[in-house]
Amino acid sequence: MSLPPLQLPTIQNWSCHNCSGCCRQHLIEITEEERQRILDQKWTAKDGVPEGKAVVPHGSGLFKKSWRLAHGSDGGCVFLNDDGLCRIHAKFGEAAKPLACRIYPYALHPAGKKVTVSLRFSCPSVVANVGKPVSENRDELKKIERLVVPENANKVPPPGISKNEQLDWPDTLKIVNALHELVTQDDEVGVIERLYRALFVVGLVDQAQFELIRGARMGDFLEIISEAALLEELPQPAQPVGVMQMQFRLLVAHYARKDTVADLDAGFAGRWRLFRAATKFASGRGTAVPLQDCFQEVSFETMEQPFGDFPDEFDEILTRYLSVKLQGMHFCGPAYYDIPLVEGFRSLALVISAMCWIAKWLAASDGRSTWTTEDLSKAMAIADHHHGYSPIFGSGGFRRRVNMLAKTDDLLRILLWYAR
């Protein structure tokens, strides 16, 4: 079977550094076939795996039809050994592991005549940009492509552009490329200003009626609105207030929470902690309830303060994040709850603001009033764990929240206010 060519990110490195973070923080859902394969591998307590308990039902209700790997009392997958390595990999080879483990942190998405490759920034090695350039992992990625990309990948339709507009793949990709160019161009303004310009362009794309500007005219249209975006003056940051500020805080709370097995199994105590956190984040009064061990109780007022310079390293990490997500089509369509491009891009801007908020929380939890690259890197890993993967972000309520913030321009206000 001949598969479409891969489009790899241009500015991203990655190799696995065996930190075992993914085997601790993710729930690994498996298919019936994978379950059977693991049972046939006949794991016993002598191998360090609790006999008959390596796979457990997943989901709720009477008809639990899906399965996941069990986790031990230390929070890690039962197949994770004391050296932080995978027992299945060690005993039976890489190909014997569940598919989800083999793919992570890559994410492949059909994009017309090609398949794009993105990465999940929940992996600290991805955030830190360490390892080989992804372009040197092409052979490995071709193997993954054979495993996950369906034969009819080139028939997958492009994501909608906005609520009422749909274009073909070439025109859709022209818009994505224009946004990519805007957020990555090296013209001596920072990433936040570049993102601000891209949001301006997205606003015009949202209002456009494409009947007369499909095909040959699309390039001209994008050039004109991109040039107009370059003339946009960045307003002075102004504090978001009222309902919009509350909506954003609630969004942050969802990005900052943890959803490992230990947290899901925390029972009443866990649910009570989440309820208390939700009411605090909704009111914005007093202190933020820690949603993970890395956080301390910090006043909400603290996160409204500037946390020092926005250093070059912040620019590098955020630019790379946006570049990978855009080139990899990892922000809309099937990769992001089947959401249209405009809405997906706005969600991408919001997750950047959420990362800044969380980075401040991490710095303040450490008793500091200035943030560091380490704070932002950690915040990125925490937030990206959920972005595009926690079902709640694809729900009607969350989508309404994003659209409401966009309609009132609060999204721009939030972006400028929290990135300082």
Could you list the residues that contact ligand SF4 (CB under 6 A)? 23, 28, 69, 77, 79-80, 86, 88, 97-98, 101
Count CA atoms within 13 Å of residue 354 on its CB side. Answer: 27
Smallest gap from residue 79 Cβ to ligand SF4 (A): 4
Smallest gap from residue 316 Cβ to ligand SF4 (A): 29
> Nearest Cα to 128, choosing from 313, 359, 338?
313
- For residue 51, count other CB atoms closer than 10 A to its CB: 11
Smallest gap from residue 70 Cβ to ligand SF4 (A): 10
Token readout for 314 is: 């912040």
Specify the residue, 84 or 394, whose C-beta has the smaller distance to ligand SF4. Answer: 84
Specify the residue, 28 or 173, whose C-beta has the smaller distance to ligand SF4. Answer: 28
Specify the residue, 30 or 339, whose C-beta has the smaller distance to ligand SF4. Answer: 30
> Nearest Cα to 22, choosing from 91, 102, 82, 83?
102
Smallest gap from residue 16 Cβ to ligand SF4 (A): 10
Specify the residue, 107 or 415, whose C-beta has the smaller distance to ligand SF4. Answer: 107
Q: Are strands 114-119 and 106-111 parallel, antiparallel or unpaired?
A: antiparallel
Smallest gap from residue 282 Cβ to ligand SF4 (A): 35
Smallest gap from residue 54 Cβ to ligand SF4 (A): 9
* Euclidean distance between CA atoms 296 and 315, whole angstroms: 27
Specify the residue, 86 or 288, whose C-beta has the smaller distance to ligand SF4. Answer: 86
Specify the residue, 80 or 225, whose C-beta has the smaller distance to ligand SF4. Answer: 80
Specify the residue, 66 or 408, whose C-beta has the smaller distance to ligand SF4. Answer: 66
Token readout for 316 is: 């590098």
Smallest gap from residue 86 Cβ to ligand SF4 (A): 3
Token readout for 307 is: 């946390």
Question: Are the C-beta atoms of 123 and 381 separated by less than 8 Å?
Answer: yes
Tell me which DSSP letter residue 301 carries.
Answer: H
* Euclidean distance between CA atoms 180 and 349, whole angstroms: 13
* Euclidean distance between CA atoms 187 and 79, whole angstroms: 48
Smallest gap from residue 87 Cβ to ligand SF4 (A): 7
Q: Are strands 6-7 and 114-119 parallel, antiparallel or unpaired?
A: parallel
7: phi then psi, degrees, rounded to nearest 5: -105, 115
* Euclidean distance between CA atoms 174 and 182, whole angstroms: 12
Specify the residue, 123 or 175, whose C-beta has the smaller distance to ligand SF4. Answer: 123
Specify the residue, 85 or 282, whose C-beta has the smaller distance to ligand SF4. Answer: 85
Tell me which DSSP letter residue 30 carries.
Answer: E
CA 259, distance to chain mean position in Å, is 15
Smallest gap from residue 40 Cβ to ligand SF4 (A): 15
- Evaluated on CA atoms 397, 399, 400, 406, the torsion sign reads positive
